[in-house]
């Protein structure tokens, strides 16, 4: 029974994670260090990245979330991050929540969101999303909407870039939350699990015959 529970634990470890940032301490968006959430690492691509909750200023779903911030002089109006697994294993991402801009401020929203998945330096999947059609932009009271991703499986690096047109200065922000991910087991891990499952099945079969 303990062995069966061990195998079940392996299966859970290999699969679903939902990254919410709720337990993170508030980190200013100019923090250059990586943000660790669960088994994953978020590293700023450009200017600023932090975990934040301000219900009066930034779009949110009522909880703490990831916030990328750009400075026009440093990043040409682009903010974003690179996402990897702590163990450097392949993973799959199926969705995350997103919104651009700020409350009651116009002209500082995200004009497009580019998402690219890599493995070993090669592009596995890529997509570009746009305001109104795919996510909420500038305006009062906007909330995060779910961005669904297709084909982003078996990647070892996800690069997200939020492009902001006509946004000089520091008032450029993009909010992210609820990353739905799962680690993708390597073939050797699948072989091990299959072999162990076969051993357990054989043992159970013998036990019933005795």
CA–CA distance, 43 with 50 (Å, rounded to integer): 10
pLDDT band at 193 (very low <50, low <70, confident <90, very high): very low
pLDDT in tens, 121-178: 999 999 999 988 898 876 666 789 999 999 999 999 999 998 876 544 455 678 999 9
What pLDDT does residue 168 have? 46
**Pairing mode, strands 145-148 and 65-70:** unpaired
Domains detected in the chain:
17-196 (2.60.120.1350)
Strand order through the sheet with 122-129: 35-37, 40-44, 78-85, 157-163, 112-119, 122-129
Total residues found in the chain within this entry: 210
For residue 116, pLDDT beyond 50: yes
Phi then psi for residue 45, to 5 deg, are -85, -30
CA–CA distance, 9 with 72 (Å, rounded to integer): 46
Q: Which of 36-50, 94-108, 112-126 has the lowest mean pLDDT?
A: 94-108
Contact 54, 135 (CB under 8 A): no
Q: Mean pLDDT: which of 26-30, 52-56, 156-160, 187-191 is highest?
A: 156-160
For residue 21, pLDDT beyond 50: yes
Exposed, middle or buried by CB within 10 Å (0-12, 13-18, 19+), for 137?
A: middle
CA–CA–CA angle 59, 155, 137 (5° rounding) = 20
Helix (DSSP H) and strand (DSSP E) numbers for the chain: 3, 12
CA–CA distance, 83 with 158 (Å, rounded to integer): 5
- Closest Cα partner for 119 from 80, 147, 93, 81? 93
Average pLDDT estimate for 169-195: 70
What pLDDT does residue 5 have? 40
């Amino acid at each position: 029974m303990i062995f069966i529970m061990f195998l079940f634990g392996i299966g859970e470890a290999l699969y679903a994670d939902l990254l919410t940032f709720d337990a993170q301490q508030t980190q200013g968006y100019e923090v250059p260090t990586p943000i660790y959430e669960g088994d994953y690492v978020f590293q700023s691509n450009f200017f600023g990245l932090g975990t934040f909750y301000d219900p009066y200023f930034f779009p949110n779903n009522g909880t703490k979330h990831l916030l990328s911030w750009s400075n026009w002089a440093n990043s040409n109006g682009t903010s974003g991050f690179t996402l990897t697994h702590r163990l450097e294993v392949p993973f799959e991402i199926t969705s995350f929540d997103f919104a651009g801009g700020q409350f009651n401020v116009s002209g500082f929203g995200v004009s497009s969101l580019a998402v690219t998945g890599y493995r070993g330096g090669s592009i596995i999947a890529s997509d570009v999303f746009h305001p109104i059609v795919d996510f909420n932009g500038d305006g009062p009271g906007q909330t995060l909407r779910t961005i669904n991703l297709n084909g982003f499986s078996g990647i070892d690096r996800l690069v997200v870039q939020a492009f902001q047109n006509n946004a000089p200065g520091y008032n450029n922000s993009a909010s992210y939350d609820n990353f739905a991910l799962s680690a993708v087991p390597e073939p050797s891990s699948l072989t091990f699990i299959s072999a162990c499952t076969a051993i357990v099945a054989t043992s159970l079969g013998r036990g019933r015959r005795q």
